Amino acid sequence: MVEEKLIGLGLPPTQHQETVREVAAHMEDRFEQGLARGLDDSGACELALKEVDDWRQLSRRIRRSKQQEGQVNYRTRALWLPGLASLTATMGALTVITMINLEPRIYMYGSLAFAQMYERLLMVLPAAGALGAYLSRRANGDLKVRLAAASFPAFVILSLFCPAIIVAGVLEHHLTWGVLPVAFALMVFNWILIPCACLLLGALPFLRNSQIREQGLAQ
């Protein structure tokens, strides 16, 4: 019950679990105190529930008191900043590659160009993904958050390319409606799926918690 009530704590997973455990223990003690005073189960339960009038307000107050003053919150530390670092590394690499004029390689399937990609960029992407996942792990990001931070550049490119392909392709008459789905699929494959796989490849070593950190928590 406490877990459900404190769902909006917005704390890192370990801190969240610890807080839920502590609050639940307090309510358990109050419940047992009620039983010891001669109340029946429902009376003792009511006594325990009276401890908190407004769970949402409690969540807010706990979040405020746990967050470090002047520091950014968990989501910013574990997702947005690592994601931004990964994106900066990706865009930096892409800029350098285009500046030194390396042409993309085009792969053909019959008469259809099915993949147009900067191989050198793909070689750099695992490092960008690793950077995102590493920074997210340092900020106690859980598995999903680390994966999201590592693959962040792919999502940004997707959000930029979707409107861009519609504008460039249809509104400026470079593509017809018939070709658009094929162009979109190729773009997603070349610029989203393959780069995303490369980014996640680099993130792999950082998906497990570091042994030093686990030892620290155990102590």
Q: How far apart are CA 8 and CA 22, in angstroms?
A: 16
Helix, strand or coil, per DSSP, at residue 186? helix
Indicate whether 61 belongs to the interface with other proteins (CB under 8 A).
yes
Q: How far apart are CA 129 and CA 60, in angstroms?
A: 33
| Residue 46 C-beta: closest distance to other proteins, Å | 14
Is the Cβ of residue 51 or residue 214 nearer to other proteins in the bound state? Answer: 51
Structure tokens at 164: 């861009």
Residues 136-195 that bind other proteins (CB under 8 A): none
Is the Cβ of residue 18 or residue 119 nearer to other proteins in the bound state? Answer: 18
| Residue 135 C-beta: closest distance to other proteins, Å | 23
Structure tokens at 84: 């931004």
Indicate whether 5 belongs to the interface with other proteins (CB under 8 A).
no
Is the Cβ of residue 17 or residue 98 nearer to other proteins in the bound state? Answer: 17
Is the Cβ of residue 37 or residue 174 nearer to other proteins in the bound state? Answer: 37
Q: Which range in 51-59, 91-99, 114-122, 196-204 contacts other proteins by CB under 8 A?
A: 51-59
Which of 211, 83, 219, 215 has its CA nearest to residue 147?
A: 83
Within 8 A by CB and 6+ apart from 149, the residues are 78, 79, 82, 83, 86, 132, 133, 135, 136, 141
Cα angle for residues 172, 173, 175 (degrees, 5° grid): 120
The single residue among 1, 7, 25, 204 that binds other proteins, judged by CB under 8 A, is: 25
Indicate whether 44 belongs to the interface with other proteins (CB under 8 A).
no
Residues that bind other proteins (CB under 8 A): 18-19, 21-23, 25-30, 33, 50-54, 57-58, 61-62, 64-66, 68-69
